[in-house]
Amino acid sequence: MANSTKKAMRHQRDIVVIGASSGGVAALIELARNMPADFSAPIFVVQHVSPYADSLLPQLMNEVSALTVKHPTNGEKVKAGTIYIAPPNHHMLVENNTICVTSGPKENRFRPSIDALFRSVAYSYGPRVIGVVLTGYLDDGTSGLWSIQRLGGVTVVQDPHDAMSPAMPVNALEFVEADHIVTLHALPALLSQLTKERAPAKPRVPKANLEQIDLELSIAKNDNAFELGIIDQGELTPFTCPECHGALTKLIEGKLIRFRCHTGHAYTISALLSEVTESVESMQYQAMRGLEESKMLLQSLGEYFAKEGRQKVADTFMSKAKKNGQQARLMRELISHHDITSGDVAPRLPKPKV
């Protein structure tokens, strides 16, 4: 009797979270167009957008969707059958049937972060969650999807061959054994099917793993990462944060390696490599600019002393100007051969299923 009562109290899989980046706007509009009007679960979406402008995505999706699409406000209660889009430059977290809109530290160079959203629902709802990774660049969403699976939720990844930008699906599949790999066209039917299923019992997860997720959620809510003890959660590294130059701590999730700095910024290997190589290119351009400016200054001084009849001094300045010009050209050539590196170079597009 007790067992049957316990089973009757179990929820259905009734929390859907979706992450998208490059190519995601078109994909999300298409998804909204095909979602059934009687879809009963709330859907939470993080789409990477510019932090400097208002997002028109809710308006565009509302024009084609039978469901209500909106940006949530902080503290708003969750309603079934609503699609919530994270506002630009804000994380969107969900806990205790309440939506938190925060300005915590960026993750993988983004705010809103897919990982932050996924992590929050995994922690609060466990097996009730359906996590979906769609088209996008780099790998935001991989860590969050791993957390969803680790805490009993269902994991869905868009077929990379169907994605406008396959990197995010490819990276997710590299580290998460997805329960479903589907085309965008097949996703609405799959979500409808999954939300009719009963959620299984919560899996047993080590207390330390839950404490780390809880700590990272606190950071996303803009709590003090250093005072919360983030540097004690992993291995302190010699690397520094590209955003604030704070010390980075290495965190391990299954086969996935991530980094957090003591102020709260978080990176996967792909995001960190991308940031570091971009900063290297920026410094190379600064060096080239400095050499070119010094060449112009030396050359103008050489021309001045030549007019004054002090040819020996003029020749010295012109010689130095020529040398700086040669160094600037070498620097320009070096920049032209500099690759923007990221972890994306490792995973390859999987072969399509026959």
d(CA 298, CA 58): 57
d(CA 197, CA 293): 67
What does the DSSP assignment read for 294-345? HHHHHHHHHHHHHHTT-HHHHHHHHHHHHHHHHHHHHHHHHHHT-----GGG
140 is catalytic: yes
Spot the catalytic one: 14, 139, 140, 159.
140
Q: How far apart are CA 290 and CA 284, in angstroms?
A: 10
Tell me, yes or no, if 115 is annotated catalytic: no
DSSP E strands in 233-316: the ranges are: 235-240, 247-253, 256-261, 266-268
Q: Is 214 a catalytic residue?
A: no
110: left (phi over 0), alpha (psi -120 to 50) or beta: beta
Query: Which pair of tokens denotes residue 292?
Result: 């070119």
| Catalytic entry in 14, 48, 90, 115 | 48
Q: Contact at 8 Å (CB) between 175 and 254?
A: yes
Query: Which backbone phi and psi does 194 adopt, to 5 degrees?
Result: -65, -35
Catalytic position from the list 14, 21, 115, 120: 21
Pairing verdict, β 98-102 and 129-133: unpaired
DSSP string, 99-166: EEEE----BTTBSS-HHHHHHHHHHHHGGGEEEEE-S-STTTTHHHHHHHHHTT-EEEEE-GGG-SS-
| Residues with a known catalytic role | 21, 48, 140
